[in-house]
């Protein structure tokens, strides 16, 4: 900001607050304005973006105790409390008082030894070799004392919905930008539902030469009818018959996007037991997961007379064990 702007700009007025406002109330006022004028909610409105920059600049100075004190001193010099006075006109204050703090006296109505180096040292500044305003005080961006630097461009949010298999294996897709032009996004293998992908420097440009914002792509993954994610592992529920679980069997289990694999179900396998297939899960930069097949014993819903008679004979022969005995015992503890 040019030095003259410190005399001309009223940051309190920009934020709509009084000069004696507390830090807490100042923050509330700023947040209210920031929500109203933030570029993400103004959809390219240049006037509102300029207003957002203005209130951000004002809050950057007033929210810092030291910067606010220095700003108030600068404003006081330009608002009438620091005025040039004719020799012998009397009265306190004025630039002669500022200069007198650094050894400048009054003789014959002229100032003697004060210089701008001393004046700017009052505020922690020094005149640069290029003259007035060419040092830190007069930087074109970043404000007083170079506060903040150039403003970063705003981020742009985009959304995409992927099928389950695309999210697992990864792919490069095209999305439409704010201007309607397509841009490509590389979806990494193993991206999860709700994950965000950040494209550095692809957002809105900076208004004053700073770095551009980012494009933030939020990913939604459609559920799969068979598989679910468990970190890098894939889970699938595999039904087996009562006789397969009781006597043992070799069964086929599906894989995502590949040929089925064969698994051995041991005799006496209960519902809920998990069989693991190494390396058939999600392959990503973080590693490769497994396929976890959970066995579920399927109970037949329709039995003919012969099947019923066979089960009744089995019931007479099966061990007299209560499968709920352990459950009941633990419930009484």
Three-class secondary structure of residue 65 per DSSP: helix
91 Cβ contact list (under 8 Å, min separation 6) = 85
Tell me what pLDDT residue 59 has: 86
Q: How far apart are CA 135 and CA 124, in angstroms?
A: 12
The pLDDT-based confidence of 255 (bands split at 50, 70, 90) is very high
Give the pLDDT score at 319: 83
pLDDT reported for residue 326: 85
pLDDT digits (tens, 9 = 90+) for 174-194: 988 777 788 899 999 999 999
Q: What is the mean pLDDT of residues 308-329?
A: 86
Length of the chain equals 333
* Span 3-26, pLDDT tens digits: 455 567 888 888 999 989 998 899
Report pLDDT digits (tens) over 208-253. Answer: 788 899 999 999 999 999 999 999 999 999 999 999 999 999 999 9
Between 150 and 331, the higher pLDDT residue = 331
Residue that wins the pLDDT comparison between 221 and 79? 221
* Gap between the Cα atoms of 169 and 221, Å rounded: 12
Q: Does the structure show a pLDDT above 70 at 68?
A: yes
Model confidence at 108, in pLDDT bands (50, 70, 90)? very low
Please give the pLDDT value at position 32: 86
- For residues 50-66, give the mean pLDDT: 85
Out of 159-163, 185-189, 321-325, least confident range? 321-325
CA distance 241 to 300: 8
Average pLDDT score over residue span 91-113: 41
Structure-model confidence comparison of residues 176 and 112, the more confident one: 176
pLDDT at 79: 52
Q: Do the strands 287-288 and 258-265 form a parallel or antiparallel pair, or are they unpaired? A: unpaired
Entry pTM: 0.53
- Which of the given ranges, 58-62, 87-91, 106-110, 269-273, has the highest pLDDT on average? 269-273
Mean pLDDT of the chain: 78
Q: 159-185: string of b/e by CB count within 10 Å (b at 16+)?
A: ebebebebbbebbeeeeeeeeeeeeeb
What integer is the mean pLDDT of 40-59? 79
pLDDT, residue 198, reads 93
Best CA proximity match to 217, nearest among 180, 183, 179:
183
| Domains along the chain with CATH numbers | 4-81+115-146 (1.10.287.110), 156-221 (2.60.260.20), 228-331 (2.60.260.20)
pLDDT given for residue 67 in this prediction? 82
Q: At what angle do helices 23-37 and 46-62 cross, to 10 degrees?
A: 160
Question: For the ranges 33-47, 142-156, 315-329, which has the lowest average pLDDT?
Answer: 142-156
pLDDT at 314 over 80: yes
Tokens describing residue 32: 């209210």
Cα separation of 250 and 32, whole Å? 65
Model confidence at 144: pLDDT above 70: no
Query: Tokens 């037949």 appear where?
Result: 300
**What distance in Å separates the CA atoms of residue 63 and residue 56, rounded to the nearest whole number?**
10
d(CA 257, CA 254): 9
Q: Supply the pLDDT for residue 84.
A: 38
Q: What is the DSSP letter of 288?
A: E
Mean pLDDT of 300-326: 87
Taking phi first (over 0 means left), then psi (-120 to 50 degrees means alpha), and beta for anything else, what does residue 91 get?
A: left
pLDDT value, residue 123: 42
């Amino acid at each position: 900001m040019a030095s003259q702007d410190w005399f001309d700009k009223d940051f309190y007025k920009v934020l709509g607050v009084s000069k004696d406002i507390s830090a807490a109330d100042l923050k509330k006022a700023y947040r209210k304005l920031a929500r109203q004028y933030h570029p993400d909610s103004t959809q390219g409105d240049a006037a509102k973006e300029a207003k957002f920059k203005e209130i951000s600049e004002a809050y950057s100075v007033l929210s810092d105790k030291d910067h606010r004190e220095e700003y108030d001193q600068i404003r006081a010099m330009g608002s009438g409390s620091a005025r040039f006075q004719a020799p012998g006109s009397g009265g306190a204050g004025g630039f002669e008082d500022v200069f007198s703090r650094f050894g400048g006296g009054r003789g014959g109505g002229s100032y003697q030894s004060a210089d701008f180096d001393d004046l700017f040292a009052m505020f922690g500044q020094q005149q640069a070799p290029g003259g007035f305003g060419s040092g830190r005080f007069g930087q074109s961006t970043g404000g007083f004392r170079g506060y903040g630097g150039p403003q970063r461009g705003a981020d742009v949010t985009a959304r995409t919905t992927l099928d389950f298999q695309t999210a697992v294996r990864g792919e490069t897709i095209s999305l439409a930008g704010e201007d309607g032009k397509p841009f490509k996004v590389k979806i990494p293998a193993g991206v999860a539902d709700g994950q965000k992908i950040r494209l550095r420097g692809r957002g809105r440009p900076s208004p004053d030469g700073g770095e551009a914002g980012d494009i933030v792509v939020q990913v939604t993954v459609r559920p799969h009818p068979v598989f679910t994610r468990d970190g890098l592992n894939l889970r699938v529920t595999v039904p087996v018959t009562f006789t397969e679980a009781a006597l043992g069997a070799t069964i086929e289990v599906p894989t995502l996007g590949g040929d089925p694999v064969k698994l051995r179900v041991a005799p006496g396998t209960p519902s809920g037991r998990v069989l693991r297939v190494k390396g058939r899960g999600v392959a990503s930069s973080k590693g490769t997961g497994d396929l976890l097949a959970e066995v579920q014993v399927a109970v037949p819903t329709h039995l003919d007379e012969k099947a019923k008679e066979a089960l009744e004979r089995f019931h007479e022969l099966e061990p007299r064990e209560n499968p709920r005995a352990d459950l009941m015992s633990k419930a009484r503890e």
